Structure 1
């Protein structure tokens, strides 16, 4: 019967031998070296300590006793000179650190020094015990021994002496005692070294055997296998044939690699495609584009040349997903990726790269001469291609694109900074009105930094008292009677002065601060409006702007209810203003939330009406009580017949639906007159009244006549 000792058995056998040998060596070292070391240290320390202490005590007793007898007669006769002679003689004895002669009250008579302490009391920690002792007194502090002895004369105590001895080095007797220990330690160490040498020799021999076995039976075959696999080309489709006659695990491994090579050849290209390709559009993904950009930059650094990055972001793409669904949105992205490729080919952009960066973002790497002019033409072509209508589910859909452009080597020299610059330029194209392109400039970095700084300073501005709520009065146009006011947030910055709302409201909206600020404004406006009243007890209203973020959060009904409850304001006195785009971003949710709010008695107005995508037809589906004609129409109502016609149509259509119409931005008497003539219900603007504080508005309500 043949027993197969496989690779695992061989390894286990060698490892077991090594472990047993290491344990044996460790045990021998521990039992020998550690035991001897502890014994030597213990014996040496004990002998040294006992001998040194015993010798020092005996010497201290003898020296202090002799010292006390020697100064007894001089102390009795007050012979200061003789006391000094005896003191100095004692001080010069070996191991003596100090000597003190003192009287019955503990005053120093002599200490062998320059006399500066004579007559002063002893104040060291050992003094009290020495003064109180009636016989020899020994006190230890570390390596110092203090021995005190009373001085007697004529049958009475005259004072005392103290001798301080230090034990700095072992005596000859101590050295003789330690000599046998040193011999013993040396012999033990030699014996241990011999044993260690024998153990290490055995360990080395065993290790050598283990290395030989590992090298011959494991490492050499594995290296041969690795070398064979390295010779295989990455895109080689033919499997590598590996043959072996071994009957152990290494043989099994070789045969497994032979089978796997066929699968590796087949899957390599597919794995790379999945890792570097966007599955929706078939374009390169972010990872593949970054590698391509790095390679191009290395080449350009070496050979010089120019490069442009175009960062493309679709305008209002979210509207497609929200209204038509995400599957249609994916179809849009697929069609637009084809259009971008077509635009590149039509401009002869050889060697260009295009990638989907994520979401609705695409990025193009473009090489060429006169790079600024050619990239501008390419951006225009891309925008034109994207603007062409898309047919989705039998309907035409129109989209635009904002394009940011950055140039190498003019704007940056590394990939990370170029991508950042292109993103910044794209954002500036959005700010400029969308559906256009912008080149990166260093001023854009400053603008981004200013925006970040403004966001940081806006945080906490309410708590610091920099933000205030002002109110612009709203009037009936038929009789000129004040009927309510719009709450307006203003920021008085300590360094920048009055920051325009168009600046900081956008920052608050993008950073999410608008939700907190909006809640503060709503609560403040409700509290202030609850204090307003007109003659005969009429209750004016206050209108508060609600941001799209506040509407999307879904908490608007609860926030409004809390503000009304804490302020005591009647629901019919509160009007909420929302823009068309805020409502239409998710019309179903907006309708549900606004219906809950209106059910409590709060009124809802559409602000900036006429500037969105909705048209008048949405007034039938969104529960609103009023619309505010945008100031852009009111500004040209006297000069532009089209604006006048549109304004008149809005008023007529809203009235047919039972909706109140408010005009904002009335700045001249002519605008006021024509809006009143066309039947506009209410209006506001600088000609009628500028924003003011809550107290000033309260007085204006009291002074207003009642028709």
Structure 2
């Protein structure tokens, strides 16, 4: 339960959705509806800072009444503990709590971004619950071969009982198993025979002894099987997180291993959620089994395989002086070099890998795991199929990044980010015809470049909040400038939000801003990351009357075919195309040819990065429609823009 709550509560997307106007729909889709048939929880709740329930679902349907009426009084104390500041470091609180439908195991944690040290502005708590009903008990008994498992109110004579604790540590019930006594059972079986002939007495005694011995051995085997199950992942059969920790700690104290080194490799499957969404959870589960089997079969001796959670695997490798991270990384990479055949599907997967190494004699598994998780976190923010090896520099970098993220959260909470406006002029008349809205952050330590804080916002799941604030301020200000076109750059992460167009329409309506005056600028990366989704999002925007422009054309991989496919209203050429054309004839020819190509398919062209008169005149004569750059104006505050360009 704790692992399930942790995986869902410590999630950048979930934290981002708390600030979204469509958060309720997102909570229902991702946590409420799955409670219908999800094996790990039957109920899902999200409690806000005011103790109001944003989500209250049971078996896939909304629940009537308040949580305080359904749960006993210890539920409120569990929520309070999860909400407390002491829970910001990743604590998950779990306890057995009484409900109107019987006893349930409840797990609770504060929703926050993945990176440690970032505290949400408001304490929202995610709660999952699993009923201890007959179905759950029977499934547990079957899975772990615990015959006769039952829930009792107290200890019952002749049973082994494990207490179930509430929030305060008080017993609210017991899981009880019959305590089979081999000698007594054997005696009951042979008692009718004791009245037989004395000649067989010795044989009966020997039989009793043999039966007792077999029963003891059977109990020992069952105990070993139960321990095996508790340390192994039930889906793949490899070690689970507790099993791997015990394995490492055991080997770390063995004399024969003290001179060895240990490498921990965290392997996360890229795009696993997309595989689940496309082909279903059954295919996803089979893929995880296939990955575990191939790792177990193909990795060299001296390694241990574990599935930590979800699509993340861990590999512990014992190394000597002749082996290093490169040696083992090569072995891991070979495992994923060939596609996996799952039924009729040939699935090629990439992996992100985080690596941490230590001398075994001084190794702490949990410390090493923390380092490997830092490296994996960095690797997952790459372009995919990326490996990062932990180093002290990485730890310092992540610490600095965490500090900047905390400052950005506070700045967004106080709405400290401002909008600067850079004029866009008509190439023929030189008159201002529009502006591009640009995010600016003047922190207490001084200005921070968008090239620094925009990637930080995307990694921390804050780009939706940041983008919404910039769009809102640009539209609010633009509504005061009659007929002036406003362009705003939108990140790929914002565009992937299915509710983006609806939220933008609400903002336009709020400020009575005409949709045709707004242009959303997209970078080339949007076209490649998910073509179908990009088409849908662009179509939704254009249906509202909003224009869509392709930004930075010529700096990457977008082609003329892409311009036709997505029906852009405008193309902005990257500033690299105009740089140095006054000194480089070939660069000038490339710029002119690009403008002609875009004009040939009927799309207006804007050239940005204009820094002198020659560049402006050349672009105009080449057929460019609009110009932008420091030659005309640097980005200005709304007051400076109005004074310089909009005053009568």
Whether the TM-score (by the shorter chain) exceeds 0.5 is yes
From 336, 357, 371, the equivalent of 2:308 is 357
Question: Could you tell me how far 1:283 is from its partner in structure 2?
Answer: 4.1
Higher relative contact order (CA 8 A, sep 6+): 2
**Number of equivalent positions:** 457
Query: How far does residue 406 in structure 1 lie from its aligned partner after superposition?
Result: 1.3
Give deviations 1:18-75, integer Å, cap 9, x for gaps.
xxxxxxxxxxxxxxxxxxxxxxxxxxxxxxxxxxxxxxxxxxxxxxxxxxxxxxxxxx
> 1:468: how far off?
1.4
Q: How does 1:428-439 map to 2 (within 5 A)?
A: 428-430=378-380, 435-439=385-389
Q: How do 1:538-553 and structure 2 match up within 5 A?
A: 539-553=483-497
SS of alignment partner, residue 513 of structure 2: coil
Structure 1 Cα separation of the partners of residues 585 and 319 of structure 2:
49
* Aligned positions of 1:60-209 closer than 5 A: none
Task: Check conservation: 1:474, 1:482, Cα contact below 8 A.
Answer: yes
The alpha-carbon deviation at position 420 of structure 1 amounts to 0.7
Note if 1:311 corresponds to 2:262: no
Query: In the alignment, which of 393, 405, 422 is matched to residue 443 of structure 1?
Result: 393
Determine the C-alpha separation between the residues in 2 that align with 1:626 and 1:502: 24
The residue aligned with 1:490 is 440
1:452-492 per-position Cα deviation (integer Å, ceiling 9, x unaligned): 32222223424646321111223445665532222111111
Max Rg structure: 1
SS at match of 1:356: strand
Residues 343, 378 of structure 1: 8 Å contact kept:
no
Partner of 2:516: 572
Deviations 1:513-568 (A, max 9, x none): 333332221121112222335xxxxx221112334444344332333233323333
Asked if 1 retains the 8 angstrom alpha-carbon contact of 2:259 and 2:361, the reply is: no
Q: Structure 1 pair 614/314, CA: closer, same or farther in 2 (3 Å)? A: farther
Question: Where is the helix percentage greater, Structure 1 or Structure 2?
Answer: 1
User: Of the candidates 681, 687, 693, which is equivalent to residue 637 of structure 2?
Assistant: 693
The alignment status of 1:459 with 2:409, answered yes or no, reads: yes
Q: CA 1:225–1:312 in structure 2 vs 1: closer, same or farther (change >3 Å)?
A: closer
Correspondence for 1:152? none
Q: Secondary structure at the match of 1:504?
A: helix
Aligned partners of 2:518 and 2:546 also within 8 Å: yes
What residue is the counterpart of 2:570 in the other structure?
626
Find 1:291's aligned residue among 220, 229, 246: 246
Which residue number in structure 2 is paired with residue 368 of structure 1?
A: 319
In the superposition, relative to structure 1, how do residues 265 and 411 fare at CA in structure 2: closer, same or farther (>3 Å)?
closer
Post-superposition shift, 1:399? 5.3
Which of 532, 540, 544 is the equivalent residue of 2:481?
532
CA contact (8 A) 1:530 1:568 kept: yes
Q: Distance in 1 between matches of 2:422 and 2:289?
A: 49
In structure 2, the partner of 1:518 is 467
Whole-angstrom CA distance in 2 between matches of 1:477 and 1:623: 23
Distance 1:611 1:324 in 2: 35
The 1:626–1:272 alpha-carbon spacing in structure 2 relative to 1, beyond 3 Å, is farther
> Cα deviation per residue 1:390-448 (whole Å; 9 max; x = unaligned)?
78999997654433221123897311111110111223344566544333222323332
Match of 2:395, SS state, is helix
Cα shift at 1:243: 5.5
Gaps of 5+ in 1: 1-213, 216-221, 230-239, 248-253, 534-538
Residue matched to 1:506: 455
User: 2: distance between equivalents of 1:682 and 1:411?
Assistant: 67
Q: Is the 8 A contact 2:259 2:360 kept in 1?
A: no
For 2:327, what is the secondary structure of its paired residue? helix
Equivalent-residue separation in structure 2 for 1:641 and 1:328 (angstroms): 56
Q: Distance in 2 between matches of 1:645 and 1:278?
A: 62
Change (3 A) 1:401 1:612: farther
Kindly indicate whether the alpha-carbon contact (under 8 Å) linking 2:252 and 2:360 is maintained by their aligned counterparts in 1: no
TM-score, scaled to structure 2 = 0.57
Relative to structure 1, the CA distance from residue 225 to residue 325 in structure 2 (aligned partners, 3 Å threshold; closer, same or farther) is closer
TM-score by length of structure 1 reads 0.53
467-476 or 519-528: which moved more?
Answer: 467-476
Distance in 2 (alpha carbons) for counterparts of 1:224 and 1:463 = 59
* 1:591 to partner: Cα distance: 4.1
Q: Calculate the aligned-residue CA RMSD, in Å.
A: 5.0
Specify the SS of the correspondent of 1:459.
Answer: helix
Q: 5+ unaligned residues in a row in structure 2: which ranges?
A: 1-156, 159-176, 193-208
Q: Kindly indicate whether the alpha-carbon contact (under 8 Å) linking 1:606 and 1:628 is maintained by their aligned counterparts in 2.
A: yes
More strand as a share of residues? 2
* Cα offset, 1:672, TM superposition: 5.7
